[in-house]
Amino acid sequence: MSNFFKYFFATILGVIVSTLLMVFILVGIIASGDKEVKIDENSILVLELNRPIVERVVEDPFEEAFASLSGKPTPEGLNRILKNIDKAKKDPKIVGIYLESGRLNAGYATIEEIRNALIDFKESGKFIYSFAPIYSQKAYYLATAADKIYLNPSGMLEFKGLFAQRTFFKGTLDKIGVEMQIFKHGKFKSAVEPFIREEMSEPARLQTETYINSMWHHLVAKIADQRDISVDNLQELANDMPMFREQDQLVAAGLIDGLKYKDEVITELKELTDTPDDEDLESVTLKKYAKVFVAGENKGLAKDKIAVIYAEGEIDGANPNEGIRSEKISKTIRKARRDEKIKAIVFRINSPGGSALGSEIIWREVKLARETKPVIVSMGDLAASGGYYIACEADTIVAHPTTLTGSIGIFGMIPNTAGLMKKIGISFDGVKTNKFADMPSINRPFTKEERALLQNYIELGYQNFIQRCADGRDTSTDAIDKIGQGRVWSGENAVGINLVDILGGVNDAIDIAAEKSGLEKYRIVELPEIPDPLQEFIKELTGEAKMFVGKSLMGDEYKYLETIENLKNGSQIQARIPYNLEVN
């Protein structure tokens, strides 16, 4: 009883504190408003990118307020970064860009998109300077777009090649008594391997070697072009692990331009901008610059529109508040199709896939949209498996060389938790009217007949998948099957096998959409519409409250029930890329 009152009063106190905090946040939001920002002549745009980068920024004052209290950085949006760089190129008040991104948290295709925008920015004759105490390999790749790359004299620079790693859970599942029952089609469909193996299969290793080598060769070639170092020399440097060598060697090799402290870089920027030593540099951050108006930065009040529809994350995953929800994104595509002012759609996909059914639902709306207006797909870091399923019907598919795509395959993964239930003392009993009335069940193994039924369902799903791809890409199912079987490809590989049409980014996709729809004057609308931050905040509080009650009642055993809940709620038939795939 004493524990009950302890948790009860703790809950009441938490509600009071949360309410007061929300009041302060709301007052701050009202006070700050959304006013236009003005900048001075001779200003520098500061790109501080040491934070997660997502496809689309969401202006959430609640998230920003809590982030400032916790010290956790809020995500930055690729859309805002690209818009600001393009705007700065045209803005006579911006004379250059100062880049700080030593610990960049983004995929290589996202970085490629920003890097290309920076290279385009330099065509204006304005400068780009990059500085960091430490450069990760991803951050260094971005920094090579700069005119000058500076490193702290005691800093480190990572340049060592790519490493793809997967996390395997079979040993853990064995210990807790969970058996994963697998149904799949495709020898390369390795998404299930972390749950049934302790290392990569040979097909999984082969496909991984193929795409990471494709990615690495592309990165090295691009660095060689910007730094005027041969590809062979760069490969030798990577093998020499410069990260743990003397910093002077980095300058001698041409990887960077100098070793400087931040104050020395600022002094150089002052000299470059004719700023007196006793005055501060005129600068503006990404967030503030988004509110700066620059004449000619957009298409004005054009009647015709191109819709950029963002689809980011897992398709119909276990968390209903995250990722791509098939019904929501389908409704968005449908509204864009019916809107006569929207003349073309750019479907921006950054997804490892997910639910096969959810993918089919989205595919249908893409197909219907294509029948009425041009639909161009722009691929981000990932557009694989279900992510490719929803892309294949587009008029044109645009990807980056380092995009991971393909993975055309289907699998089913249903846990047998009988061992876990026995460990925590839970048993089941029941009655049924028909033979398969209790199928599928997660507390017993499947029978031989049940396994045959599920495998047949997977085969039908795979045939449906390759038919969708064959129809969308104007080829045969045999041709798709040869490059399918669950195999993952880089964007560069995918162009040569008819999975991708051209290499480029979201702005290239917009240009193609404008050309195909015959538009010269148009404006961009970004969809789906951003949800109300207050409603989203309440949703998050509801989820936290549910978890608090569960932990209060069950104690340490809650983690077992949480595991079961996630396994139960996740879509059982999946079209997605391998789990926990990291390329660094």
User: Residues 461-477: pLDDT tens digits?
Assistant: 999 999 999 999 999 99
Please state, for a pLDDT cut of 90, what percent of the chain lies above it.
72
Greatest Cα pair distance, the chain, in angstroms, is: 87
Whether the predicted pLDDT of 583 surpasses 60: yes
Calculated CA dihedral for residues 472, 475, 479, 484, nearest 10 degrees: -10
- Which position among 330, 355, 359, 385 bears the catalytic label? 385
The closest alpha carbon to 524, from 289, 295, 302, belongs to 302
pLDDT of 30-45, one tens digit each?
Answer: 444 556 788 999 999 9
Whether the predicted pLDDT of 2 surpasses 60: no
DSSP strands (E only) in 425-564: 488-490, 502-503, 523-527
Domains 36-160+241-289 and 305-579 share a fold: yes
pLDDT, greater one: 215 or 71? 215
Whether the predicted pLDDT of 28 surpasses 80: no
pLDDT of 377-427, one tens digit each?
Answer: 999 999 999 999 999 999 999 999 999 999 999 988 889 999 999 899 999
**Residue 563: pLDDT band by 50, 70, 90 thresholds?**
very low
- Per-residue model confidence (pLDDT) at position 54: 94
Does the active-site annotation cover 189?
yes
- Per-residue model confidence (pLDDT) at position 186: 79
pLDDT of 328-352, one tens digit each?
Answer: 999 999 999 999 999 999 999 999 9
Mean pLDDT of 496-524: 97
Q: What is the CATH number of domain 305-579?
A: 3.90.226.10
> Which segment of 16-20, 196-200, 360-364 scores lowest on mean pLDDT?
16-20
Mean pLDDT of 120-143: 97
pLDDT of 476-500, one tens digit each?
Answer: 999 999 999 999 999 999 999 999 9
The closest alpha carbon to 303, from 522, 527, 515, 525, belongs to 522
Does the active-site annotation cover 385?
yes
- Per-residue model confidence (pLDDT) at position 36: 73
Mean pLDDT of 76-99: 97
- Per-residue model confidence (pLDDT) at position 413: 85
pLDDT of 238-286, one tens digit each?
Answer: 999 999 989 999 999 999 999 999 999 999 999 999 999 999 999 999 9
Q: Is 256 exposed, middle or buried (0-12, 13-18, 19+ CB in 10 A)?
A: buried
Average pLDDT over the chain reads 87
- Which position among 138, 148, 184, 189 bears the catalytic label? 189
* Tokens linked to 2: 């004493």
Whether the predicted pLDDT of 557 surpasses 90: no
Show me where the domains of the chain are located: 36-160+241-289, 305-579
> Which segment of 143-152, 318-327, 402-411 scores lowest on mean pLDDT?
318-327
pTM above 0.75, yes or no: yes
Give the CATH class of 36-160+241-289. Answer: alpha beta
CA distance linking residue 182 with residue 160, whole number of Å: 36
Whether the predicted pLDDT of 562 surpasses 50: no
CA atoms within 13 A on the CB side of 565: 10
Phi then psi for 307, rounded to 5 degrees?
Answer: -90, 125
